[in-house]
Amino acid sequence: MKIVKLEEIIGTDRDVEGPGWKSRRLLLKKDGMGFSFHETIIPAGAELKLWYKYHLEAVYCVAGNGTIEDLATGEVHDIYDGVLYALDKHDRHILRGGTEDMRLVCAFNPPVTGREVHDEDGAYAPAPEDA
């Protein structure tokens, strides 16, 4: 059994941030669960163009608001507390923070190692097999 406390993640190497996002990586590849699990904060007004071409991601909003735009269709969907979106086709998208910070709970498959940052396409590189 694993017990992970958010307050023990903050300020460690599992507390990662980049332009327009902050991610607390609660479970990583090395934890052996077959997925990684994160709490991600998107600040109000942020805009992130993303494309997880090597990962599937499910995201559940637990606070705040924003939108997600599907770049293949142009559809824009509101994100707020109680909404889940799943990037089940490696969807290119733009995630926009709304009027207040969004707090998101995310699962990635395959799991991330913990130190990934977005490349020029907005993707994370696939994790090496030995990571």
Judge whether 102 and 41 are in contact, CB under 8 Å. Answer: yes
- CATH (domain of 71): 2.60.120.10
In a domain, 5, yes or no: no
Residue from 100, 98, 61 nearest 83 by CA: 61
- The answer as to whether 10 is a domain residue is no
Q: Where on the phi/psi map is residue 34: left (φ > 0), alpha (ψ -120 to 50), or beta?
A: left
| pLDDT digits 0-9 by tens, 50-100 | 988 888 999 999 999 999 999 999 999 999 999 999 999 989 999 999 999
Residue 127 lies in a domain: no
Q: List beta partners, residue 39.
A: 24, 105
Task: Answer whether residue 118 is part of any domain.
Answer: no
Q: 42 in a domain, yes or no? A: yes
20 closest CA partner among 83, 104, 124, 95: 95
Domain count, the chain: 1
Residue 121 located in a structural domain: no
pTM: 0.88
- Residue 34 lies inside a defined structural domain of this protein: yes
Give residue 88's domain range: 17-109
The position carrying tokens 């590189």 is 125
Task: Please check whether residue 124 lies inside any domain of the structure.
Answer: no
